[in-house]
Amino acid sequence: MPFLKNASIRTKLKIVILFASGVSVILVSAGFFTYEYLTLREIIVEDLATKADILAENTNAALAFRDSADTETVLASLSSQPRITSAAIYDLGGEMLASYTRAGLAVVFPDTIPPDGSRFSQDQLTMVKPVLLSGSRIGTIYVSMDLAGMEERFRSYGEIVIFMLIGSLVIAYFVATVLERTISRPVMSLVQTAREVSERQDFSIRASQTTNDEIGLLVAAMNVMLDRISERETNLHRANEEIRTLNEELEERVRRRTTQLERANKELEAFSYSVSHDLRAPLRHIDGFAQMLQKHNSASLDEKGLRFLETISDSAKRMGQLIDELLIFSRMGRADMRYCEVDMNGLVQEVLDELKTDLNDRRHTINSDHLPTVTGDSSMLRLVLTNLLSNAIKYTRKKEETVIHVGCKDEDERFVFFIRDNGAGFDMKYANKLFGVFQRLHRSADFDGTGIGLANVKRIVERHNGSVWGEGIVEQGAVFYFTLPKSGDHHG
């Protein structure tokens, strides 16, 4: 019953009570009506049988003598019985001896005598009985009765039943209204409580338990549930407070650390500033005065002395170079990243153009795949390519032909760039030392360098959230890989 789905529980209860009482009243009335009907029929049949018996008694003598006129007279007395519509007396041979028909009616008697007994037709009750004389049958009596009266009686019965039905439904409605309240009131109060709790988020409200039935149990269960919720709420609140306090402490700690870090950073900056300014001056003086000595006093110096001066100058210059590169390295770690779209093809080409002079008249094959555009700091990425490509050019110096290949592999989340050369390579057991500051795998006499280039590469690539590694075989070549994320996460 879909219409009941949206009805309130009060309506549902009323409908259920009215329906149940209505059904029982209808059933009772139907029983009562059936009983009345059957009883009435029995009384009528008995009544008609009695009348037929009396008629048979009154006419048996006349029938015995086949006195038709006398029989007619007896039958004519039936006119005092308004319900009897017709009657007839037959002899044993089935011949009609006399008949009666109520005035104003045209009755057709059956051609043959029906068997003994009573039968109801549409609006008639017909009774056929034997006429006895001294216990033996001498003929048959046929009586027919009009049932119109009975119908009327049933109608009035029906009216009473309908009246009773309506009356009992009205009473049932009032009873239902009263009864429904005893069930619905606790339910309604429970609903009200639930609504208040959910609307106000106030878990201290409790439903009042007024009954000990299932609804009472429900109320008790809900109160227990509310207890638990409010307990949890309290716990949650306390936990949140704790988290907040911890957070504040953490923030305070972070703030303190940041201040410390900032101070340390400032000190570091001041340090590198001093390094840049103050360490370079004495180097310049060493070189300068050594050169001046050479210039003004070369006559008084022998070949050995001149070579010493040369070495002093060279060392000073080399130290200046080391300081410069160390400063670049420290700057790469501190400088702000300026993210933009970088076309790696263009960048590789520019760097190769700059390094062209290092190739001199060497036989060389340098090729590059088509490279993607990435998001990054272009000056930093240029330094990465400069370092890796100048390394590739440097370490292939002793080969007959320099072969360098630049490529890129497209992986799910990142691009893997690589630069492969056929140069001096390196022993893989020292691979972990490649990217350390001032770490070198070759002697300066073989290949010059400060040992800071790859450390710079690592620092820059890691600041781009990428990684870097190298593979090498001694005297066969090396491959250096670095990755850049496709999404270009802008942090670090």
Partner 1 sequence: MAELKRILLAEDNEKDVELTLEALGEHNLANEVVVVGDGEEALDYLFRKGAYKNRLDGNPAVVLLDLKMPKIDGLEVLRTIKGDDNLKATPVVMVTSSREEADLVKSYGLGVNAYVVKPVGFQEFVEAVKQLGSFWAILNEPPPGSAKTTRSAGARK
Q: Is 157 a residue that touches partner 1 (CB under 8 A)?
A: no
Helix (H, G, I), strand (E, B) or coil at 283: helix
Is the CB of 334 or the CB of 433 nearer to partner 1?
334
Which residue among 317, 382, 397, 420 contacts partner 1 (CB under 8 A)? 317
Q: How many residues of this chain interact with partner 1, rule: CB under 8 A?
A: 22
Query: Which span sits near partner 1 by CB under 8 A: 56-64, 123-131, 290-298, 394-402?
Result: 290-298
Distances (CA, A) of 305 to 287, 289, 293, 314: 15, 14, 11, 14
271 is a contact residue toward partner 1 (CB under 8 A): no
> What is the x/- site pattern for partner 1, positions 221-260, by CB under 8 A?
----------------------------------------
283 binds partner 1 (CB under 8 A): yes
363, amino acid identity: R
In angstroms, the CA 403 to CA 396 distance is: 8
What is the phi/psi pair of residue 472, to 5°? -150, 155
Our finding on whether 327 is near partner 1 (CB under 8 A) is yes
Whether 363 and 427 have beta carbons less than 8 Å apart is answered as no
**Interface stretch with partner 1, choices 147-155, 212-220, 270-278, 301-309 (CB under 8 A):** 270-278
**Binding-site member from 109, 120, 203, 289 for partner 1 (CB under 8 A):** 289
Query: φ, ψ for residue 432 (rounded to 5)?
Result: -70, -15
416 close to 483: Cβ distance less than 8 angstroms: yes
Q: Per-residue DSSP letters for 209-246?
A: P--SSHHHHHHHHHHHHHHHHHHHHHHHHHHHHHHHHH
Give the residue with the Cβ less far from partner 1, 99 or 315: 315
Q: Which of 124, 211, 291, 378 binds partner 1 (CB under 8 A)?
A: 291
- Residue 316 binds partner 1 (CB under 8 A): yes
Examine residue 284 and tell whether it contacts partner 1 (CB under 8 A): yes
Q: Does 290 bind partner 1 (CB under 8 A)?
A: yes
288 is a site residue for partner 1 (CB under 8 A): yes
Is 377 one of the binding residues for partner 1 (CB under 8 A)? no
State the minimum distance, in angstroms, from the CB of residue 279 to partner 1: 8
Does 333 engage in binding with partner 1 (CB under 8 A)?
no
What tokens appear for 53 in the block?
């018996």
Among 368, 392, 372, which residue's Cα sits nearest to residue 381? Answer: 372
Instruction: Compute the least distance from the CB of residue 267 to partner 1, in Å.
Output: 15
Which is nearest to 168 in space by CA: 24, 35, 13?
24
Residues facing residue 129 across a β-bridge: 141
Q: What is the dihedral of CA 357, 359, 360, 362, to 10 degrees?
A: -170
Q: How far apart are CA 31 and CA 443, in angstroms?
A: 122
Query: Are β-strands 96-101 and 117-120 bridged in parallel, bridged antiparallel, or unpaired?
Result: unpaired
Residues 292-311: x where in contact with partner 1 by CB under 8 A, - otherwise, as a string: x-------------------
Residue number, 203 or 289, with CB nearest to partner 1: 289
Q: Name the minimum Å distance from CB 318 to partner 1.
A: 10
- Beta carbon of residue 357, minimum distance to partner 1 (angstroms, whole number): 18
**Using the rule CB under 8 A, which residue among 5, 277, 304, 370 binds partner 1?**
277
CB-based burial, 110-136: b 16+ in 10 Å, e otherwise = eeebeeeebeeeeeebbbbbebeeeee
Residue from 22, 216, 320, 372 touching partner 1 (CB under 8 A): that is: 320
Q: Up-side HSE of residue 399: CA atoms within 13 Å toward CB?
A: 22
The nearer residue to partner 1, 183 or 322, going by C-beta atoms, is 322
Could you give the 3-state DSSP secondary structure of residue 151? Answer: helix
Stretch that binds partner 1, among 218-226, 233-241, 269-277, 349-357 (CB under 8 A): 269-277
332 makes contact with partner 1 (CB under 8 A): no
Looking at 287, 325, 377, 421, which residue binds partner 1 (CB under 8 A)?
Answer: 287
Buried b (16+ CB within 10 A) or exposed e, 253-290: eeeeeeeeeeeeeeeeeeebeeeeeeebeebeebbeeb
User: What is the CA angle 195-198-200, rounded to 5?
Assistant: 100
In this structure, the chain runs to a length of 492
Q: How far is the CB of 377 from partner 1 (least distance, A)?
A: 14
Compute the distance between CA of residue 186 and CA of residue 203 in angstroms, rounded to an integer: 19
Select the span of 4-12, 249-257, 280-288, 348-356 touching partner 1 (CB under 8 A).
Answer: 280-288
Q: Site residues for partner 1, window 182-221 (CB under 8 A)?
A: none
Give the nearer residue to partner 1 in terms of CB position, either 26 or 312.
Answer: 312
At closest approach, how far in Å is the CB of 287 from partner 1? 5
Contact status: 325 vs partner 1 (CB under 8 A): no
- 438 interacts with partner 1 by CB under 8 A: no
Residues that bind partner 1 (CB under 8 A): 273, 276-278, 280-281, 283-285, 287-292, 313, 316-317, 320-321, 324, 327
